[in-house]
Amino acid sequence: MDQQLLVFLTAADLKSFSRAAEQLYITQPAVSQHVQSLERRLGVPLMERNNKRVRLTKAGEIVYSHGHDIINLYNLMQRYVDDLANVEAGSISIGSSYTFGEYVLPRVIARLHKQYPAITPTISIANTREIVDRVADGDIDIGVIEGQHENTKVDTTPFATDTVVIVGATSHPLAKGGTVSAKDASESLWVVREAGSGTREVTDRAFANCGIVPAATIEFGSTQAVKEAVEAGLGLSILSQWVIRKELAHGTLRTIHVQGMPVTRSFSLVLRKSRFHTKAAELFASLLRSDPPQLPSADA
């Protein structure tokens, strides 16, 4: 790895030579020497030093922007090489959209740990759009999403099917049984996820299938918050059966039947387009493809 570049990036991130020295376990003069050597190599000043604080020059901003990409690529290269010696070990960064990440992924990680105890996962949960972008940027190794995307830098492979249903609190006027008309459903308040989430995408598709045009909606930024709001009687929502299985069993939520429902969607693996992926990412993907998660019983 380019030590001069690493020291420069650390000093830029911390905006201090002394703090960079502490983090890198070197002396402050050594930090200055590394930065000055990099400036001589590039032929331009990269930092302005005033009152023990540093500020990037225009050239420094360019080096900073591309420098992190260089370090990330170097680290990724090192991981690929390490995989040749460590067949079933290493770290893996997994990103997941909310439904899978909060309600399915924990069981998958338990299986991964049991089968490959030397693999260390790090989990990030965000909406589908953010997970896809982070995989494309190389920020995480592999993603699991529900829904579609338009990012051409990644490959997407469906591996399981999910079913989504209309759900409401048992006290909701439309939760008394029988088939509900699209008109009555449209007049209800709907609790939905934000744009860019897989759940919002399938919700909009379900509205179109059923002919539902909500009179009013309230957005929440997580599936758990949506479920809690519906259970509290705020309104109706469209949620995965993974999300509501316990509430259905305990009788705090009920499915509501409207013509055109339920709707199915896919859980999909997302990998950056590349000839190489880490061994840990390949093993995680193989685990999901060969043995997709199955909806457990409500009391499991």
> Does 271 lie in the same domain as 185?
no
Chain-centre distance of CA 186, in angstroms? 31
- Write the pLDDT tens digit of every residue in 1-13: 588 988 999 989 8
Contact yes or no for 193/227 (Cβ under 8 A): no
pLDDT at 300 over 50: no
How confident is the model at residue 218, as a pLDDT?
97
> Does 175 lie in the same domain as 102?
no
> Does 165 lie in the same domain as 139?
no
> Does 239 lie in the same domain as 210?
yes
Q: Say how far apart CA 300 and CA 298 lie, in whole Å.
A: 6
Q: Say how far apart CA 165 and CA 8 lie, in whole Å.
A: 53
Mean pLDDT, residues 269-284 = 87
Q: Say how far apart CA 128 and CA 145 lie, in whole Å.
A: 6
Least confident range of 142-146, 221-225, 279-283: 279-283
Tell me how many domains the chain contains: 3
Q: Is 282 a member of any domain?
A: yes
> Which position has the token pair 């009391």?
299
> Does 45 lie in the same domain as 114?
no
How confident is the model at residue 75, as a pLDDT?
75
> Does 105 lie in the same domain as 40?
no
pLDDT band of 89, cuts 50, 70, 90 = confident
- Can you give the pTM of this predicted structure? 0.68
Which one, of 119, 125, 81, lies nearest residue 283 by Cα?
119
Q: Is 78 helix (H, G, I), strand (E, B) or coil?
A: helix
Q: Is 37 a member of any domain?
A: yes
Domain extent, residue 283, equals 87-160+266-290
Contact yes or no for 125/96 (Cβ under 8 A): yes
Q: Is 298 a member of any domain?
A: no
Mean pLDDT, residues 272-290 = 88
Query: Which CATH number belongs to the domain containing residue 16 in this structure?
Result: 1.10.10.10
> Does 76 lie in the same domain as 97?
no
Task: Kindly report the average pLDDT of the chain as a whole number.
Answer: 89
Q: Is 299 a member of any domain?
A: no
Q: Is 297 a member of any domain?
A: no
> Does 91 lie in the same domain as 116?
yes
Mean pLDDT, residues 148-154 = 86
Q: Say how far apart CA 209 and CA 68 lie, in whole Å.
A: 45
> Does 189 lie in the same domain as 42?
no
Mean pLDDT, residues 9-38 = 89
- What percent of the chain shows pLDDT beyond 70? 95
Angle 3-14/28-42 helices, nearest 10 degrees? 110
Largest CA distance in the chain: 77
Going through 97-230 in order, the beta strands assigned E by DSSP cover 119-125, 142-146, 154-169, 179-180, 189-193, 216-220
> Does 126 lie in the same domain as 185?
no
Query: Which CATH number belongs to the domain containing residue 108 in this structure?
Result: 3.40.190.10
> Does 286 lie in the same domain as 146?
yes
pLDDT band of 212, cuts 50, 70, 90 = very high
Q: Identify the domain boundary among 84, 99, 134.
A: 84
Mean pLDDT, residues 147-175 = 91
Sign of CA dihedral 124, 127, 130, 135: positive
Contact yes or no for 164/243 (Cβ under 8 A): no
Q: Is 168 helix (H, G, I), strand (E, B) or coil?
A: strand
Q: Identify the domain boundary among 63, 84, 105.
A: 84
How confident is the model at residue 72, as a pLDDT?
79
pLDDT at 85 over 70: no
Which one, of 287, 280, 284, lies nearest residue 76 by Cα?
280
Q: Residues of 250-277 as b/e, b for ≥16 C-beta within 10 angstroms?
A: eebbbbbebeebbbebbbbbbbbeeeeb
pLDDT at 176 over 60: yes
- Write the pLDDT tens digit of every residue in 44-69: 999 988 766 788 999 999 999 898 88
> Does 79 lie in the same domain as 97?
no
Q: Is 155 a member of any domain?
A: yes
Residue 75: CB atoms within 10 A of its CB come to 12
Q: Is 296 a member of any domain?
A: no
Q: Say how far apart CA 96 and CA 142 lie, in whole Å.
A: 9
Q: Say how far apart CA 12 and CA 14 lie, in whole Å.
A: 6
